[in-house]
Structure formats: structure tokens, C-alpha cells
Amino acid sequence: MSRHKHLCLFATAVCLLSGCVPAVSYRASPGFSEQAQRIRTVALLPSKVKVYQIDAGGVREEMEAWSAQARNNVITALENELRAKLKAAMKNVGEESLAEEKALAEETRALYSAVSAMILLHTYPNPNFPNHFFEEKLKQFDYSLGVEVNRLAKEAEALLLVDAEDHIWTAGRQALQALGVILGIGAGVGTGVVVIPQLGGGTSLRAALVDSRTGDILWMNAVTSGAGRDLRNPESTTEMASQLFKDFPGYESLSREEKPR
């Protein structure tokens, strides 16, 4: 499956989170609460955080300085969420420390891309593709990246894989959007239907927590936003991370007897 198709599946499924799926948007293995008890450290694998600039012609170009800024914000926000929700520390595993496991890291990333696309396709109801949703996959959430991922964990009990994208419009692109709004409103005066064209963009954040012993995906969630979010901004990034972990079934979901001492 091409990267373009992965992104289309991602966007389609995430857009459903606002109304077409249950209020709890995450997906988790049936025994997650029990498995969460032993997680003390989470290894963050190299994150795919990209920030693009979109010009008036619709050309998308990654801005490396913006991506680096956004990556730092995302890592900080996720670290705070894991500490609050799972009572776990996050260990940032950089590419340097994975030099000997470079091939395995790349294979794991590629496998995760394919598996996560299947999760979004098969466990989120989509009225446009009703035959792709399997209720048993939702109830018995059972997806794995293989036991080999243990070599990437660096002794952490879990791995965290993160993908994020943001799109920043140039002034010319913003002007086109404003013109589209005006034309849409003008056309609506005569027809009674206002159509406001969207010229692309938006912000998305997706993360998955993986058991380092088995490679099983314990939890996965994805959130998306249109205008109003900016991963270059720490506060905006924190808000998206909070939304991502809003219903996280972690430490706070355990009974007092279950919580580690």
C-alpha cells in the first residue's frame, strides 16, 4: 500500500472520530489495564513529525526548522501525558542509539504504518465502506509488530510510536481561502446553500503504545484538527496531546488494589 493511500485511510478514519464512532476513540487490547501495571519506562522511537508550508498554488514543502520545533513540542507534550496518565517515564531513543538496529527500526516503522492503516480501516465504522468494519476486530483488538521490537526498547517495558503532520498556509494561500469563503457565501444567497471550499491543510497526531516483550499494540489513538492548531506552538501541541490521551485507559483506570506499589 502506498504512503498516499496510508494517509488517505488515516484521514478518513480520523475524520470519523468526531461523530461516527463511539465517544471513546482509542483502540486498546482487552488486557491493557493489567498490562499497564508493569510499565515503568516507555521508549520513544524516532518520531515522524513533519510541518509543511502550502503556497497559493497548493505546493507542499516541508520546512525542516518548523518540523524540528514541532518535534520537540510533541515529545514534551507526550512525555507529560505519559507521566500523568501512566505514571511512566519516557526515554527518547534516538537514531544514534539504534545504529546497530537501523534495519530493524526501518522494518518496524514500515510494518507499523501498514498495521495502523488496517486498524483505522477495520475498527472504525465508516458509512462509505461498511464492509471494511469488523466488530470482532474492535472487541478483540489483537495486532502485533512482532517480538523483534524488544531489541529497540533498550530495556523499556513499552515502545511509543508517533506520527504527526501540520500544514501552514502562506499569506497567498490564506487569501485564496478568504476569497473562497466570500464566493461561497455569495453563491449561498441565491441558492440557500453555503459551500465554503477547503484548500487543504490541517493538523494530525497519532500514537501507539507497544508491549516491548511481545510486540503487541496495547493502545492506539489519533486526533485531527483543521484551522486553529499549530504544532510549532507548545500550548497548541499540549492541547492536541491532551485530546489524544483524553480517555486513555491507563493508571487512573486501575483500582487501588491493582496499582503498583
Domain spans of the chain, in order of start: 3-249
Mean of all residue pLDDT scores within the chain: 78
Residues 6+ apart with CB under 8 A from 247: 23, 24, 25, 26
Residue given cell 481561502 in the structure block: 177
How many C-beta neighbours within 10 Å does residue 144 have? Answer: 15
Give φ, ψ of 93 to 5 degrees.
Answer: -95, 105
Tell me: pLDDT of 65 over 60.
Answer: yes
Residue 133 confidence (pLDDT): 80
pLDDT band at 205 (very low <50, low <70, confident <90, very high): very high
- What was the pLDDT predicted at 193? 41
H/E stretch holding 27 reads: strand 27-28
* pLDDT-based confidence at residue 200 (cuts at 50, 70, 90): very low
Is the pLDDT score of 242 beyond 80?
Answer: yes
Tell me the pLDDT tens digit for each residue of 179-197: 443 444 344 444 444 333 3
Strand pairing of 41-44 and 89-92? Answer: parallel
Strand 217-225 vs strand 41-44: parallel, antiparallel, or unpaired? unpaired
What is the three-class DSSP state of 87? Answer: coil
Identity of the residue numbered 117? A
> pTM of the predicted model, to two decimals?
0.76
- Average pLDDT of 114-133? 83
